[in-house]
Structures are given as C-alpha cells and as structure tokens.
Amino acid sequence: MPKARRMLFALLLGLWLLWLQEAHALAITNGHCQKNISVKYQVPVTRSRANESNNSDNDTEAGEQFIVYEERVRWDTVQVCCPGYRTIIFGFCEPICTEPCPTHSYCVEPNKCHCLRGYEQSHHANRQHQLICRPICLGGCPEHSHCVAHNECECRVGYKDVSSWFAPLRCQRIQCGPDQRYDVARRACVKIEMSMEELMQRVADRLAHGLDLDNESERPDRDEMEVYEQPYSSVKNES
C-alpha cells in the first residue's frame, strides 16, 4: 500500500473514531453508562543509525541501535453514572431528586419518587400536587381504628385498646368522669380546670343574666298597665 494511501486511511480512521466518541459516548444500561475515552501511551521502538568508524585494517560502516518511545492512542470503554445519577459506594449509581421525596417514599429515577414497599399512592389530591403514600393493612383495620403503618392498626382519637395479649385489636370509647374531659393532645382524661379568663367570662355572663331577670321582675305586667291607663283614657273621652 503506498504511503499516501496509508496516511489517508489513518486520517479517515481518526475522524471516524472522533465521530464515534461524540455520537455514542453514552449508552445507558440499567442506570450506568458506557463512555468511550482515549488513552495515550508510549511504546518502545528500536531504531538504528549508521556511524563511520575508521579502523587501521579497513573502513567499515557499523550500525548503532537505539530505543525511542513513540506515542500511541487507544480507545477504551469505561462505566460511569448516567446524567441525573451520582456515584455512591462500590461504584453504584444513585438517582438524584432535586426536591426531597415525601415521607414513606424514595427517589427511584431522576426527579421521580415512588412509595416504599408496604405503602401505596393516595389518590386524594393536594394543593402542592405532591406524592402522598399511605400504609397498606391487609384485611383492613377493626372498627374505630385506622392504619398507621404497614399492617399496623391503631385506635382512633377518643378510643383505647382493650384487647388482651395475642388477641386482635379491639377499640373502646374512653369514658371520662363527671369532672374530667378527654385531652386529645395527651390522649387521656384530665381534670377540668378553668382559667382566670374563663372564670371572669362566666361570672360576667351570670351577672348579666341575673340583671336581666331583675329587670323583668320589676317591670309591671301588661294587665296592670291597662288598669292604670283606663282612668286616664276615660277622663280624656269625657272632656
């Protein structure tokens, strides 16, 4: 093959490799990407050069050999994380979600969350249009209880668990005493305590109610008003 043709073939091969690097640099495979990179390396090459040595007997041309290192380029394929993923321990790739995933969910793809195992997506819409994952209780929960975790039920507010050991959950309404009330925050019956503001308000209401009763008792009846008005009206008619 002539030298010019070899140079043209090498040039075309180099251009094709550059196009391959730009067009097929990333090939997504299960969250990983195959990337083509160029690696430069050197190889030893033996060369020789002619030296003229003058001997007493005859003149001979002896070739001197030496080693030079020529630079070569090869193309290797390495495994990297795809765009939207980040490298974690042992070379695994983890997807990146710009916004944190809601409770009981995880980032399954770049900017895409999915509910954990044992939870399902709720179909109730919210204002933020965020993913809501609710627990799954196989077989449902007993009366007056609700599902709080995967296959875990809990009595609703105002009810208590009255089931025995190794028995299914049974919820019963909490009965408080006459001077007690059920505190939702404490989840227990507490003694009714009146604050100073409530006491003053109740006293004011009692006083206002008492004054209204006194005014009604002092006010004369309608029949008495008619009796008092009759003489005045008769005198007016006579005149």
pLDDT at 190: 81
pLDDT at 49: 77
Residue bearing tokens 């983890």: 94
**Dihedral (C-alpha) 210, 213, 214, 219: value to the nearest 10 degrees?**
160
Q: pTM of the entire structure?
A: 0.48
CA distances from 232 to 33, 210, 222, 237 (A): 112, 35, 16, 9
Positions in the chain whose pLDDT score sits under 70? 1-30, 51-63, 125-128, 194-195, 211-239
**Residue 50, strand partner residues:** 63
Q: How many angstroms separate the CA atoms of 52 and 15, rounded?
A: 44
pLDDT at 188: 79
